[in-house]
Amino acid sequence: MGVQYIYPEYEIVRNQERCIVCRVCERQCANEAHEYLKDSNKMVSDDAKCVNCHRCVALCPTRALKIVKSPHTFKENSNWSGKAINEIYKQAESGGVLLSSMGNPENYPVYFDKILLNASQVTNPSIDPLREPMETRVFLGAKPEKIERDEKGRLIRNLPPQIQLSMPIMFSAMSYGSISYNAHESLARAAAELGILYNTGEGGLHEDFYKYGKHTIVQVASGRFGVHKAYLNSGAAIEIKMGQGAKPGIGGHLPGEKIGRDISRTRMIPEGTDAISPAPHHDIYSIEDLRQLVYSLKEATNYEKPVIVKIAAVHNVAAIASGIARSGADMIAIDGFRGGTGAAPTRIRDHVGLPIELALASVDKRLRDEGIRNRVSIIVGGSIRSSADVVKAVALGADAVYIGTAALIALGCHLCRSCHTGKCNWGIATQREDLVKRLNPNIGYKRLVNLLTAWQHEIKEMMGGMGINSIEALKGNRLMLRGVGLNEKELEILGIKHAGE
Ligand code: SF4
Ligand code: SF4
């Protein structure tokens, strides 16, 4: 072993007394971390290959396996962490950009965890959601400036196209290519059953999924993969992707080895070629250019589909959102810096962007100050982990949220953060046929339905506790929020008081 040797991050611990040498772990591990030794009739492990995905742990019939974090340590100090040293060794060896997947894991503040919800006590009584109606439906899209009535006093309902959701939650954009066919099928079927929407991401729409169109957001990204008239008309809404929280300011890259026959047909690119999404849209250099694309898409769909513009949360997000609201878009989706990804350069993922809580609060405030909040709905994503995060996001001004990583965890993802290798042992972020089969969409969609059914119950309970009986009454209701351990500036941006006030 020389300077290139890096001690493994995880160790596979096998209880030899329990192991019956069934070789399940060997068959299940796409990283080949387990090996059968014929001579000694024993299983051995190569810790260096383990990504800590827990597939072997979950399927070992005798519970003989566990994965532990290696106790091996560098002589660290508060400036040079073991991670920083390891990364230098890797780059000195490879000369390449470090790649990672899933969202930013660094120790920045999670504002959702520093915000507490209110509950009614004596006055303004709480509502029991089991006995009284509780409205979790939301309608996304531009709303009129004011209520108008005709000469007979009837309400004029001349609304631009709207999306109706049974709860303020949707599945965020994940392309066919970055995730498997079975993962897409699970998301599409769950969205249809729940009365919400899922999002194609930038990979086009597989022909088998056109039947879920009413529950589909079709995305148009800089690579324009799989975009054609039938595709645009097949969904309930169109999303222009300008940016993504995990990699603001850069494009995407799906390597050629992941572009098999089905994906090449769906994306409309040759089999085996790299799918490279450029960093910018080559026809958008201003809000006026964006406006042209918004209206081109509306024109192509007979003005029947609302258009979402998705951006990454970056430093001047409120000003950008103001421009988007004036571009004719019906919704703005903002993706925070903890948002997941199938692959991103580590430095970009971990050091660029903004926490979604601050971005959301500043966008909502700016649009209200400018009197244009009604022109767009705001959707936020970037690590919504629970129903409490959903309630806090709505109270900070969101109309709805996108969940991505939480949905994948429901499908079996163990957050091993190795999606970029294409060897997802849980059949999610992979195109390898033997691995894709491991995710059964009949089970997957049911687990997604269970997750969001549970969240919907919890949302109703939290709203009832506050004495609020509709999402509409919760939206932007910052009186329901208090900060803990936040400084004056943070409270000011979030637009909330400190706990105790
Ligand atoms: S799956 Fe469990 S019992 Fe089977 S070989 Fe591996 S460690 Fe042994
Ligand atoms: S999707 Fe698969 S590869 Fe990606 S983090 Fe989850 S388990 Fe790991």
**Within-domain flag for 126:** no
Q: Would you say 29 is a known binding-site residue?
A: yes
Are residues 268 and 180 located together in one domain of the fold?
yes
CATH number at residue 434: 3.20.20.70
- The verdict on 43 and 184 lying in the same domain is no
**Average of per-residue pLDDT across 50-70:** 97
**Rounded average pLDDT over 38-63:** 97
**Number of domains making up the chain:** 2
Q: What is the pLDDT of residues 62-73, one digit of tens each?
A: 999 999 999 988
Structure tokens at 373: 């909040």
pLDDT single digits (tens) 294-350: 999 999 999 999 999 999 999 999 999 999 999 999 999 999 999 999 889 999 999
Is residue 161 included in any domain, yes or no? no
Q: Looking at residues 80-108, what average pLDDT do you find?
A: 93
Confidence of residue 441 (pLDDT cuts 50, 70, 90): very high
Is 500 a domain residue? no
- 87 with 182, same domain: the answer is no
pLDDT at residue number 1? 57
Instruction: Please answer whether residues 428 and 448 qualify as being in contact, where contact means their C-beta atoms are separated by less than 8 angstroms.
Output: no
Ligand with minimal distance to 424 CA: 2
Q: What integer pLDDT is reported at residue 270 of this predicted model?
A: 87
CA distance 77 to 87: 16
**Could you tell me the pTM of the whole model?**
0.95
Position 270 in a domain: yes
**Which among 175, 413, 432 is the best mutation to test ligand 2's pocket, defined by most ligand atoms within 8 Å of the CB?**
413
Do both 87 and 209 map to the same domain?
A: no
Q: How confident is the model at residue 276 (pLDDT cuts 50, 70, 90)?
A: confident
Which residue range forms the structural domain that includes residue 277?
166-474
Q: Residue 124 above 90 pLDDT? A: no
Three-class SS of residue 129? coil
Residue 34 CA to ligand 1 center (angstroms) comes to 9
The atom of ligand 1 lying closest to the CA of 15 is 7
**Chain-wide mean pLDDT for the chain?**
95
Are the beta carbons of 437 and 272 closer than 8 angstroms? no
410 lines ligand 2 (CB under 6 A): no
Q: Within a domain: residue 87?
A: yes
* Pair 199, 82 in one domain: no
- The two structure tokens encoding residue 132: 């009284």
pLDDT at 253: 77
Share of the chain above pLDDT 70, in %: 100
Ligand 1, atom 6: nearest CA belongs to which residue?
A: 25
Q: At what angle do helices 387-395 and 441-466 cross, to 10 degrees?
A: 50
Note the pLDDT tens digit of each residue in 374-420.
Answer: 999 999 999 899 999 999 999 999 999 999 999 999 999 999 999 98
Q: Does the pLDDT at position 275 exceed 90?
A: no
Pocket flag, ligand 1, residue 65 (CB < 6 Å): yes
Judged by its nearest atom, the ligand closest to the C-alpha of residue 62 is 1
CB proximity list for 409: less than 8 A, separation 6 or greater? 415
Q: How far is the C-alpha of 384 from the C-alpha of 404, rounded, in Å?
A: 8
**Is 72 found in the same domain as 185?**
no
Type of residue at 38: K
* Contact criterion met (CB below 8 Å) for 501 and 486: no
The CATH number assigned to the domain holding 25 equals: 3.30.70.20
pLDDT given for residue 251 in this prediction: 87
Regarding whether 189 and 81 lie in a shared domain, the answer is no
164-200 in b/e form (b: 16+ CB < 10 A) is ebebbbbbbbbbbbbbbbbbbbbbbbbbbbbebbbbb
Ligand 2 atom 8: residue of nearest CA:
416
Pocket test for ligand 2, best of 424, 430, 435 (most atoms within 8 A of CB): 424
Q: Is residue 419 marked as binding?
A: no
Report the pLDDT averaged over residues 214-228.
93
20 lines ligand 1 (CB under 6 A): yes
Q: Are residues 417 and 319 in the same domain?
A: yes
256-273 pLDDT, tens digit each: 777 888 888 888 888 888
- Give, in order, the Cα–Cα distances in Å from 80 to each of 7, 22, 83, 88, 354: 17, 43, 8, 11, 25
Cα distance between residue 72 and residue 11, in whole Å: 10
Residue 404 resides in a domain? yes
Is residue 413 marked as binding? no
Q: To which residue do tokens 């769950």 refer?
A: 190
- In this structure, are 187 and 76 located in the same domain? no
User: Is 414 within a domain?
Assistant: yes
- 308 domain-assigned: yes
- 142-200 pLDDT, tens per residue? 999 888 898 999 988 888 999 999 999 999 999 998 999 999 999 999 999 999 999 99
Q: Are residues 91 and 170 in the same domain?
A: no
Q: Is the CB of 407 under 6 A from ligand 1?
A: no
Q: Report which bound ligand comes closest to the CA of 55.
A: 2
pLDDT number for residue 123: 80
| Closest among 402, 425, 401 to 413, alpha carbons compared | 425
Atom of ligand 1 nearest to the CA of 22: 4
Report, as an integer, the average pLDDT of 101-106: 92
- Domain boundary residue, one of 96, 129, 148: 96
Residue 427, amino acid = G
Are the beta carbons of 35 and 43 closer than 8 angstroms?
Answer: yes
Last residue of a domain, one of 41, 68, 96: 96
**Ligand 1 close to Cβ of residue 97 (< 6 A):** no
Helix (H) or strand (E) holding 346: helix 346-351
- Bridge partners (DSSP) listed for residue 35: 44
Residue nearest to atom 7 of ligand 2 (CA): 413
Strand, helix or coil for residue 449: helix
| Ligand 2 atom nearest to 429, measured from its CA | 1
The verdict on 402 and 270 lying in the same domain is: yes
**With a 6 A CB cut-off, is 67 part of the ligand 1 pocket?**
no
Same domain, 303 and 429: yes
Last residue of a domain, one of 75, 96, 117: 96
Rounded to whole angstroms, the Cα distance separating 55 from 415 reads 11
